[in-house]
Amino acid sequence: MNQDALKRQAAERALEFLPDSGILGVGTGSTVNHFIELLAPIKGRFEGAVSSSDASTERLKAIGMPVLDLNATGGLEVYVDGADESNHQLQLIKGGGGALTREKIIAAASRRFVCIADETKLVHVLGNFPLPVEVIPMARSYVARELVKLGGTPQLRENFVTDNGNVILDVHNLEIMEPAALEDQINNLVGVVTVGIFARRPADVLILGSADGPKLVEL
């Protein structure tokens, strides 16, 4: 099976974790795109969805799913999203698609976070995937210097602006042994909007597409 087929396999399994009704949290990325396609036949069960990006909003609207404002919905029962890396504690690196801030907000507002990915995303130590950090444009150089002090090599994501109007620094050469501590440390830098470490709010369930069928990891 190719990687795209594994992603779809994980997205299919995620359907089993959806409530019978209510409002869904929906993330961003190639694996989530499969999930949105699979929602189309059952969209009538739900009042709508809260989306983490403009791209996912357009895809949800294309299948006829109402897209709602999180400020109006209150807490969500379940949030389905992908990840760029996950360790065995279900702490994640996210933000490869640039939607990390909105993704982190929806994850925090959701009772259950179901993460879908292919099996290559499961690692022992986070950091091989460059760590995204969303930054206020004025603070870009300052934050980059501070990230160097933490041992990373930040690179500006060229020709990219987030849905919030900010820039992203992708930090290479990190070996993240204490994800929650580094999440706090980077989030406390002035000018950082958020960092793509999801350790304070990890996934509750990780579904990994594999050649042997979907694998489930739960805390």
Rounded Cα distance between 154 and 199, Å, is 20
Whether the predicted pLDDT of 103 surpasses 90: yes
Both tokens of 173, joined, read 């050469």
Residue from 118, 114, 119, 94 nearest 15 by CA:
114
Which H or E run includes 133? strand 131-135
User: What is residue 48's predicted lDDT score, i.e. its pLDDT?
Assistant: 98
Whether the predicted pLDDT of 158 surpasses 90: yes
User: What is residue 47's predicted lDDT score, i.e. its pLDDT?
Assistant: 97
Rounded Cα distance between 27 and 34, Å, is 11
Rounded Cα distance between 130 and 44, Å, is 38
pLDDT digits (tens, 9 = 90+) for 49-90: 999 999 999 999 999 999 999 999 999 999 999 999 999 999
User: What is residue 1's predicted lDDT score, i.e. its pLDDT?
Assistant: 78
Instruction: Tell me what the mean pLDDT of segment 155-180 comes to.
Output: 98
**Side chain identity at residue 183, one-letter code:** E
- Decide: residue 188, CB within 10 A, 0-12 exposed, 13-18 middle, 19+ buried: exposed
Rounded Cα distance between 85 and 128, Å, is 8
Q: What residues does each domain of the chain span?
A: 3-123+200-218, 131-195
Enumerate the β-bridge partners of residue 216: 207
Which H or E run includes 60? helix 54-62
Q: What kind of fold does domain 3-123+200-218 have according to CATH?
A: Rossmann fold (3.40.50)
- Per annotation, catalytic residue among 103, 134, 146, 183: 103
- Decide: residue 100, CB within 10 A, 0-12 exposed, 13-18 middle, 19+ buried: buried
Enumerate the β-bridge partners of residue 114: 80, 205
User: What is residue 219's predicted lDDT score, i.e. its pLDDT?
Assistant: 81
Domain 131-195, what architecture? 2-Layer Sandwich (3.30)
Instruction: Tell me what the mean pLDDT of segment 92-106 comes to.
Output: 98
pTM, 2 dp: 0.96
For residue 103, indicate whether it is catalytic: yes
